């Protein structure tokens, strides 16, 4: 079976994808640098189910150091890459734009250079709905102009898509850019709203609500996103001369007030809301048109938002019960 390099394998999406690939019989080479954006122990827990799997090989590496990455992987056969690693988060990117450019753009450039040198031709790349900025053309289509990013995080993802296109054109690399839309569920990063709000509500603390609660996000349950990544990878292996951009969303935006109500229902607790002004870099709505992903490789989200929130709250409670033993 093919060997897949998964960058960011210890993260939220990466760890779930690694489990999926191993279950499907692939061999997986995982890379993660345990970025201190959140606690290392969380990522180590994410990897618990597969770190000792006979078909899994792990390297703790920083992708911004291209020569070290290439040296470590030199003798390992790689058939395809799922490049998920990078610094995430719109608001933190405004505070540290240089760090985001390095971790996202430089790291992706190093991956592309390795592909060019070694003749690795297939890559599924994690882009983001943030590239659409504050577009009022909804739902978002892959053909829309995305020349107006409103955060450093967004411009790094757009820059990576452009670099991918350049290497596709010059070196015949097959690449699918997957624009993720607010992925959530078990193992979600602790800084993200559903995780943070669940924690605050369960601890009877105030939750910050930026704006009037009318902003909407196209929340996508992680299993649907992972299924989309897997199908994009299958598509890459089945076709040549590929350069595609696809939305992997849920096509059903949820308002901030509705999200809070769903967590209240799942936890059985009432939220204490502290209303605050909108933050720089935030967009009013994300809303994916997913027709292209459906047509190309049969992407078809199955989970409702409410079901995903219930699953997340159950996972959150079980993890914290385990930690308190």
Catalytically annotated residue among 153, 221, 287, 299: 153
Exposed/middle/buried for 68, CB within 10 Å: 0-12, 13-18, 19+? Answer: middle
Spatial contact of 236 and 242, defined as CB atoms under 8 Å apart: yes
DSSP state string for 9-65: TTSHHHHHHHHHHHHTT-EEEEEE---TTS-HHHHHHHTTTTTT-TTEEEEE--TT-
CA nearest to 28, candidates 9, 49, 44, 48 = 9
For residue 167, indicate whether it is catalytic. Answer: no
3-state SS record for 198-236 = HHHHHCCCEEEEECCCCCEECCEEHHHHHHHHHHHHHHH
- Cβ neighbourhood burial of 47 (10 Å; 0-12, 13-18, 19+): buried
Residues 6 or more apart from 107 whose CB is under 8 A from it?
7, 63, 64, 85, 86
Residue 241: count of CB within 10 angstroms of its CB: 7
Catalytic residues: 153
């Amino acid at each position: 079976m093919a060997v897949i390099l998964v960058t960011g394998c210890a993260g939220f999406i990466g760890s779930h994808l690694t489990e999926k690939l191993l279950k499907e019989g692939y061999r997986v080479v995982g890379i993660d640098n345990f970025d201190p954006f959140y606690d290392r122990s969380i990522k180590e827990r994410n990897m618990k189910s597969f770190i000792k799997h006979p078909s899994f090989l792990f390297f703790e590496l920083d992708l911004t150091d291209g020569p070290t990455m290439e040296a470590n992987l030199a003798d390992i056969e790689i058939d395809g890459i799922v490049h998920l690693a990078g610094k995430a988060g719109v608001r933190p990117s405004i505070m540290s734009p240089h760090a985001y450019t390095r971790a996202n753009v430089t790291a992706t450039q190093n991956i592309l250079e390795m592909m060019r040198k070694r003749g690795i031709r297939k890559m599924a790349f994690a882009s983001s709905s943030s590239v659409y900025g504050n577009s009022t053309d909804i739902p978002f289509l892959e053909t829309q102009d995305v020349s107006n990013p409103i955060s450093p995080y967004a411009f790094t993802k757009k820059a990576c898509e452009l670099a991918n296109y350049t290497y596709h054109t010059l070196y015949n690399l097959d690449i699918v850019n997957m624009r993720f839309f607010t992925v959530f569920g078990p193992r979600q990063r602790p800084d993200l709203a559903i995780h943070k709000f669940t924690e605050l509500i369960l601890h009877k603390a105030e939750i910050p609500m930026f704006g009037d609660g009318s902003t909407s996000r196209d929340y996508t349950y992680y299993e649907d996103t992972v299924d989309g990544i897997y199908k994009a990878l299958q598509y890459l292996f089945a076709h040549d001369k590929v350069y595609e951009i696809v939305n992997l969303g849920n096509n059903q935006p949820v308002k901030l007030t509705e999200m809070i109500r769903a967590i209240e229902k799942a936890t059985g607790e009432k939220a204490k809301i502290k209303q605050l002004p909108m933050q720089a870099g935030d967009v009013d709505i994300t809303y994916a048109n997913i027709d292209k992903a459906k047509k190309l490789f049969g992407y078809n989200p199955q989970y409702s938002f409410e079901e995903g929130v219930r699953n997340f709250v159950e996972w959150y409670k079980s993890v914290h019960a385990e930690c308190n033993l």
